[in-house]
Structure 1
Amino acid sequence: MPGEIYDLRGLKCPLPVLKARKKLLRMTSGSELIVDTTDPLAGIDIPHFCREDGHILLSTERTEGGHRFIIRKA
């Protein structure tokens, strides 16, 4: 089952991480969240956030103008 897409394009650090964290808190364990962002620091911040909170970063992809992350909630 594909994950929910969360469009955080246009937001700057630290908002993508803060909003992703809040969204994941409301999701059930094992759910997947697809996060799209244009923040250049997200390539560092999102993987770090996943490690800190115990989520699994399934993939990281460069997109035109940003990144796409697929996160499985711990």
Structure 2
Amino acid sequence: MDYQIDVVVDAKGQKCPMPVLLASRAIKKLESGQILLVEATDGGSKRDIPSWATDTGNELLDNNSEDGVHRYLIRKK
């Protein structure tokens, strides 16, 4: 499914907890219903980003990994 991405967070090369912190800062600037794409290379993000999305009440629409880059689509609540 294709989504209209409103903001992209490039957290590639950042270690924990930076991908979550960068995503948190970015999503605060979005309106409800807008979509955030987070790209990270830290393996911990595979656990941390989905947990953060759930804990904050936002919707994890998709996550996938390709060539060592983990991508997360999150819709703001």
Residue equivalent to 1:37: 40
Helix, strand or coil at the partner of 2:70: strand
Measure, in 1, the Cα distance between the counterparts of 2:37 and 2:12. Answer: 12
The TM-score with structure 2 as length reference comes to 0.91
Measure, in 1, the Cα distance between the counterparts of 2:55 and 2:21. Answer: 13
- Unmatched segments (≥5 aa) in structure 1: none
Measure, in 2, the Cα distance between the counterparts of 1:18 and 1:7. Answer: 12
Measure, in 2, the Cα distance between the counterparts of 1:7 and 1:16. Answer: 8
Percent identity at matched positions? 36
Stretches of 4+ aligned residues off by more than 3 angstroms: none
The TM-score with structure 1 as length reference comes to 0.94
Letter in 1 for 2:25: K
Letter in 2 for 1:14: P
Residue equivalent to 1:70: 73
* Matched residue count: 74
- Unmatched segments (≥5 aa) in structure 2: none
